[in-house]
Structure 1
Amino acid sequence: MKIGIDGRNLLSATDGIGRFVHKSVKALAALGAEVHVYAPAKINANYELPTGVTLRTGTFHALPARALWGQAMLPFWVARDKVEVFWGPSHRLPLFLDDRIARVVTIHDLVWVHAPETMRLRTLVGERLLMKPALRRADIVAADSGATAAALKTEFSWLKAPIRTVAPGTTALPPPGGFSDLEPLGITRPYALFVGTLEPRKNLGNLIRAYGLLPASTRSGCDLVIVGGSGWKQTSLAEDVRRGGLGQNVIFTGFVDDRMLATLYANCLFLAMPSFYEGFGFPIVEAQSFGKPVLTSNTSSMPEVAGDSAVLVDPHDPEAIAGALGQLCLDARLRQKLAAGARQNAERFTWENHAGGMLQIFEQAIRLRRKFRA
């Protein structure tokens, strides 16, 4: 099978979708697919592609030029290479593709529908303008979760293309260090862990507020460690901590490398991730891969991804979050009960499984395209 893939997200090593595309390309190639990757400019050096993968890049660096590339150069390259199916791995398809080419688009989430107030204006406008045309042109739509698939059916009742659910894989982290390796981060006591970009959708304001509702005796035995790079509209978090008198218990580490991230997961009491909305929620699976219980939200994809190894809360209710935090901080037997199936749940999410599912989708899309043209 000859597959063309939009690789524009491979330009940045910090782009979560870039990592998704990179892992997908490697897994598809490992299963024997002939993969062609297209990017508007040179891809990041961190993304080494397997031998046999064809990479075509341009010199379109600025955002407007990259948009032009996606609608003009990309379809030209794809047609010239005579690919059988083209995959837009993140909400986009070219407006014009050769009619002989099947087309598949992956939708990771519908944040712009369900939580638009948590998005940057530029991203929100892009989603509003470009997702619907991609859905109209797709032969098949792939979704990361059943929750996103159901939301697509509800929101876009006019959608004619079949929707298929294919969960992404998660990347194995390096072997972790011991608890003492966390001292440079200022971590010296047991802790609950948050992992993710510091942005409004992650609900850190309510998480910190809920932590502040815990008795001082509970907080003294369970710090809150917040791991992740700065996103946007979160400049008040440090002030929230200061105003709540939580400076001795809440630790912001900033961005950490993979080995330190593994060490943080391996030594935490539990993961606390009460996001307002997630299309999937990679930290849930990463924490569970280390045998850790999870506190997460009862909305969107999070219950589906977490399985039975989590306590679910209403992300809009700080008191409910506080109640779950207190339980997990104090009740070792509850943590052990939830952790019992954590690793097994995490093992569902592999890149080989994702690639196998996508190959089935590509084959179906090719059949549908041939039927459409017959």
Structure 2
Amino acid sequence: MKIGIDARNLVHNLTGIGRYVLEMCRGLAEAGHEIFLYLPERPVSDLSRLSGGTFRISDHAGNFRRMVWGQTILPKLAARDKIDIFWGPAHRLPFSLDPDIPRVVTIHDLVWHHAASTMRLQGWLGDRFLMRPAVFSSDKIVAVSRATADAIRMLYPQVSKKLHVVYPGVTRLEDGGTSSVLADKGIDREYALFVGTLEPRKNLPSLLEAYALLPEPVRKNLLLVVAGGQGWRLGDLRERMVRLEIESDVRLTGYVTDSDLAVLYRRAKFLVMPSLYEGFGFPIIEANGVGVPVVTSNMSSMPEVAGEAAILVDPTNVQDISAAMGRLALDNALRSRLAEKAPLNALRFDWRKSALDLVAVFELAITARRR
């Protein structure tokens, strides 16, 4: 099968959706399919693992030019390559895609609808006005979780019959024995770990307040490590830490490489992810994959993804978050039970199976377009 892919999410440093696109493309290529990756500009990420793909790289840097590229250059390239299927892996499809080309779109979340106040205006506008035409013009729709599929059905009941749930896989991160992130970031004792872009949806102010509520002896033996690139509209986290008098017990690492992230996961006492909304929540299964239990939210997709390897909390209740962190910090038996379940939970998510399931959806889309 010749598969054309909107690979714009591979341009910048890889976060959740970018990693999803990378791993799915890798799985498709390893399964013997011919993949064409369309990028608006040269990627900063290392895409050497996609050596089997054909790259079509344009010169359209910047948000506005990238948007124009997606509706003009991209569909022309796809038509020229005579692809069998076009895949929009993140909420968008070109309006002017050749009508003979079957097309599938993946929807990761409906943040723009359910948590609009946590988005940048540009991102909100993009999803608000481009997701609807994508789901209606697609032959099939892939949702990354049952929670996301249910949200799509509620908002767009007319497309219910086109919906398929295909779970992502878990990425096994390797450090290669060269990472010095613990020493470099001053991580000198046990720690609870947060992983994610620093943005409102991740609920970091509540996480910091919850950590501050822990008894001082607990905090002295348990750092809070916040790993993630700077997002937006959170103000100065360090100023908030000073106000809460926890600045000596929190480490802000900024964006970290995969090798550093591998070390941070493996050495963590537990992961804490009290997001207000997630379409999937990759850090949950990445932590579970190395036997690390999780504190996460009791809403959207997080209970579905965390299974039995987590304590679920109300993300709007700071005391609830704090109590769960305290339990995992102090209750060794509880932590051990959850740690035993963590790898089993992660085994539910496999990139090879994800790619095969996606191909099955592609085949259905091709059949639907030919009718």
TM-score band, normalised by the shorter chain? over 0.9
1:22 maps to 22
Shift of 1:309: 0.4
1:32 maps to 32
Counterpart residue identity of residue 357, structure 1: D
Counterpart mapping for 1:254-269 below 5 A = 254-269=254-269
Greater mean deviation of Cα atoms: 138-147 or 34-43: 34-43
Native 8 Å contact 1:176 1:263 kept in 2: no
* Residues 337, 179 of structure 1: alpha-carbon distance in 2 compared, 3 angstrom cutoff: farther
1:37 and 1:44 mapped to 2: Cα distance?
Answer: 15
2:36 and 2:255 mapped to 1: Cα distance?
Answer: 32
Q: Which secondary structure does the structure 2 equivalent of 1:276 belong to?
A: coil
1:277 maps to 277
2:248 maps to 248
1:227 maps to 227
Count of aligned residue pairs for this structure pair: 371
1:186-213 CA distance string (max 9 Å, x none): 1222211111111111101111111111
Counterpart mapping for 1:187-202 below 5 A = 187-202=187-202
Q: Which secondary structure does the structure 1 equivalent of 2:182 belong to?
A: helix
Q: Which secondary structure does the structure 1 equivalent of 2:231 belong to?
A: coil
Tell me if 1:104 matches 2:98. no
Shift of 1:91: 0.3
Shift of 1:43: 3.5
Counterpart residue identity of residue 277, structure 1: Y
Q: Which secondary structure does the structure 2 equivalent of 1:158 belong to?
A: helix
2:280 and 2:44 mapped to 1: Cα distance?
Answer: 25
1:316 maps to 316
1:218 maps to 218
2:336 and 2:228 mapped to 1: Cα distance?
Answer: 26
Give unpaired runs (5+ residues) of structure 1: none
2:286 maps to 286
Native 8 Å contact 2:180 2:260 kept in 1: no
1:63 maps to 63
Native 8 Å contact 2:170 2:289 kept in 1: no
2:70 and 2:247 mapped to 1: Cα distance?
Answer: 47
Native 8 Å contact 1:266 1:290 kept in 2: yes
Shift of 1:19: 2.9
1:118-149 CA distance string (max 9 Å, x none): 11111111111111010110111101111100
Shift of 1:153: 0.4
* Residues 270, 2 of structure 1: alpha-carbon distance in 2 compared, 3 angstrom cutoff: same
Identity among equivalent positions (%) equals: 49
Shift of 1:180: 8.9
* Residues 73, 269 of structure 1: alpha-carbon distance in 2 compared, 3 angstrom cutoff: same
Native 8 Å contact 1:178 1:267 kept in 2: no
Shift of 1:286: 1.1
2:257 and 2:50 mapped to 1: Cα distance?
Answer: 23
Shift of 1:50: 4.0
Q: Which secondary structure does the structure 1 equivalent of 2:74 belong to?
A: helix
Native 8 Å contact 1:199 1:234 kept in 2: yes
Counterpart residue identity of residue 330, structure 1: L
1:83 maps to 83
1:7 maps to 7
* Residues 28, 312 of structure 1: alpha-carbon distance in 2 compared, 3 angstrom cutoff: same
2:307 maps to 307
1:149 maps to 149
Native 8 Å contact 2:314 2:321 kept in 1: yes
Counterpart residue identity of residue 205, structure 2: G
1:246-301 CA distance string (max 9 Å, x none): 12222212222222222211111110111101111111111111101100000111
TM-score for the superposition, normalised by structure 1: 0.94
Native 8 Å contact 2:5 2:37 kept in 1: yes
Native 8 Å contact 1:176 1:262 kept in 2: no
Q: Which secondary structure does the structure 2 equivalent of 1:226 belong to?
A: strand
* Residues 312, 102 of structure 1: alpha-carbon distance in 2 compared, 3 angstrom cutoff: same
1:234 and 1:151 mapped to 2: Cα distance?
Answer: 27
Greater mean deviation of Cα atoms: 4-13 or 126-135: 4-13
Q: Give the alignment's Cα RMSD to 1 decimal.
A: 2.0
Native 8 Å contact 1:3 1:33 kept in 2: yes
Q: Which secondary structure does the structure 2 equivalent of 1:319 belong to?
A: helix
Native 8 Å contact 1:84 1:100 kept in 2: no
* Residues 364, 191 of structure 1: alpha-carbon distance in 2 compared, 3 angstrom cutoff: same
Counterpart residue identity of residue 77, structure 1: L
Greater mean deviation of Cα atoms: 65-74 or 81-90: 65-74
